Amino acid sequence: MSNAETILTVRQESTWTIEGEVIVRIICSDEGKYHIQRIEKIGFVESDLGETGESIQMQRVLPAKRVTQILDQLRELMIPAAPALEMGSDGGFTELEVGGYIGKAHYRWWSCPPQGWEGLDRLANDIFKLSETCA
């Protein structure tokens, strides 16, 4: 997949566990096939040399029909561009980035999604569950 294009990325990072972060990407290869890729970073630490640690990477083919369903779900969501500020005490971040060169949207929320972003959170969790079948 030399000229692969990332269609969508979902990332979760916990601030209170040692598991690190999990990144899931939906990728379109230069042959037009879709793949779902899951990367789990394990035991990463910051040092003078930068971030060090190990990761587990899994990937499998994803039917085009499923990718279309995910993108259609995203298109149907009505998400406030500037959600109300909500603070949390513990948890982690979830990020969802969709698009590429022509246009891109990047969403990030702490622990629980802001009001109006619940559908985005459900979709991000569905994508994580879908990626678990890579193992």
Looking at the structure of the chain, the number of domains it has is 1
| CA 57/CA 24 separation, integer angstroms | 10
Give how far Cα 32 sits from Cα of 10, 42, 68, 101, Å. Answer: 21, 31, 13, 17
Rounded (5°) CA angle 109-113-116: 115
Task: Classify residue 21 by burial, with Cβ atoms within 10 Å: 0-12, 13-18, 19+.
Answer: middle
User: Does the predicted TM-score (pTM) go above 0.75?
Assistant: yes
Which helix H or strand E contains 118, and what residues bound it?
Answer: helix 118-131
CATH of the domain at 121: 3.30.1560
Query: Per-residue pLDDT tens for 18-40?
Result: 567 899 999 998 788 999 999 98
Q: What is the pLDDT of residue 120?
A: 95
User: Would you state the pLDDT for residue 83?
Assistant: 86
Bigger pLDDT: 11 or 102? 11
The average pLDDT across 82-109 equals 84
Structure confidence by residue, pLDDT tens digits, 51-70: 667 778 899 999 999 999 99
| Domain range enclosing 129 | 5-134
pLDDT at 46: 64
Q: What is the pLDDT of residue 58?
A: 92
The answer to whether 26 touches 7, Cβ cutoff 8 Å, is yes
Alpha helix positions (H), 27-100: 64-76
